[in-house]
Amino acid sequence: MTHDDAHSPDLSPETLSVHAGIGRYENRPVVPPIYETSTFSFDTVEQGAALFAGREKGYIYSRMGNPTVRALENAIATLEGGCDGLACGSGMAAIHTALAAFLTAGDHLVCSEAVYGPTSNLVDQVLTRFGIETTLVDTSDTRAVAGAMQRNTKVVFVETPGNPTLVVSDLQAVSAIAHEHGARLIVGNTFMSPILQQPLSLGADVVVHSLTKFLNGHADVVGGVIIPKTDEDYAHLRGILNHLGGVLPPFEAFLVHRGIRTLALRMEKHSRSALEVAKHLEAHPEVEWVRYPGLESHPQHEVHLKQCRSGGGMVTFELKGGVEAGRAMMNAVKLCGLAVSLGGVESLIQHPASMTHAIMGQEARAQAGISDGLVRLSVGIEAVDDVIADLDQALVAASQATAHPGSTV
């Protein structure tokens, strides 16, 4: 039942992604078994009392902890360099739990303006109802972060690179500002994974992830995780998660843990391919601009390389032909899947102006930094030449659909 998570921090991330959280179990399987059980029986009433009082270590009920889930939590905590982890039923459950743990009515939150859409909805539509005020700022601008801090600011929430513009924030600088004001820095690390970026080592207090994306990597699970730096924060978060109840089920934990064993290999390939795709698109006549943190043309390229090993698997670009070109390109891709979500082995593409953000209208989209021709691409681990060939043929369709100046047709 126990697992041995005492891995040396000297091991490289590649090695840790294979071995972290894989412990010793009855009958000595090399993979943690799936404990598909809601509850755990006590030998005696005295033992039950000791477990509830915390005098004895062990499992009680799966909302409070489950061995398959604990193995995953240990694995990700080891990779992030945190003290422990809390797996949640989705990335949004992880973000909600973390914010609910550290914010109280009357508190103020400073949040990156370039964040995952549902995170900004959580902040404006849910947290406001509980008396929590938020200021959205461009967290890549360190002075803007300092200017947004108030006496009651308790949390700074940063996503870097931010969705979908891939704007990069300097985590060391932002953590210094947060700490100067007595606030915690929570970092969304979904786009990078702990293989490429370890925010706790850059001053963050808590890391959150959507497990749904790169960590699982196989597009077959929805999940999330919270990794705090200190034991004190872990104990507090565990209590809050136990009350809110948004935990990850054991089978999903098993799948994500299985995915993590190839995380280092996948991230290396995602980054290498995405860089090639980004360079190719940057030279393409149908493309106005490309944002990829691994490109020298990215405004925060230097900051990104200071805090990350490489650019990751996400590329954002702007089509010269606007909404029409985007729609035509989406309908023409054959290999790239036309779907939201990201971070899986398969390449996925999406055009916010004609899909996810179509109902917003152009003005509101522009305010959120979503231009008409903006396309978000999650570069998978296919042969990069096949991905590029698919994009090229879809860009021909985009140029045929729009006769703009500079069109190749």
Ligand X SMILES: *Cc1c(COP(=O)(O)O)cnc(C)c1O
Chain residues that interact with ligand X, rule: CB under 6 A: 90-92, 116, 119, 159, 163, 188, 190-191, 210, 212-213, 222, 224
Two structure tokens written together for 269: 């390939």
- Nearer to ligand X by Cβ, of 216 and 402: the residue is 216
- Asked if residues 217 and 235 have their Cβ atoms less than 8 Å apart, the reply is no
Rounded Cα distance, 342 and 217, in Å: 8
Two structure tokens written together for 375: 């396309």
- Nearer to ligand X by Cβ, of 222 and 358: the residue is 222
Rounded Cα distance, 191 and 261, in Å: 18
CB of 322 to ligand X, least distance (A): 25
CB of 303 to ligand X, least distance (A): 18
Rounded Cα distance, 191 and 293, in Å: 11
> Does 250 sit behind a cis peptide bond, omega within 30 degrees of 0 on the bond before it?
no
Closest residue to ligand X in the complex (CB)? 91
- 80 by Cβ neighbours in 10 Å (0-12 / 13-18 / 19+) ranks as buried
- Nearer to ligand X by Cβ, of 40 and 116: the residue is 116
- Nearer to ligand X by Cβ, of 114 and 237: the residue is 114
CB of 350 to ligand X, least distance (A): 12
Can you count the helices (H) and strands (E) in the chain? 15, 12
CB of 166 to ligand X, least distance (A): 11
Question: Which stretches of 107-230 are DSSP H helices?
Answer: 117-121, 142-148, 171-180, 193-196
- Nearer to ligand X by Cβ, of 216 and 399: the residue is 216
Q: Of 85, 68, 69, 315, whose CA–CA distance to 194 is shortest?
A: 85
- Nearer to ligand X by Cβ, of 97 and 163: the residue is 163
CB of 389 to ligand X, least distance (A): 27
CB of 118 to ligand X, least distance (A): 6
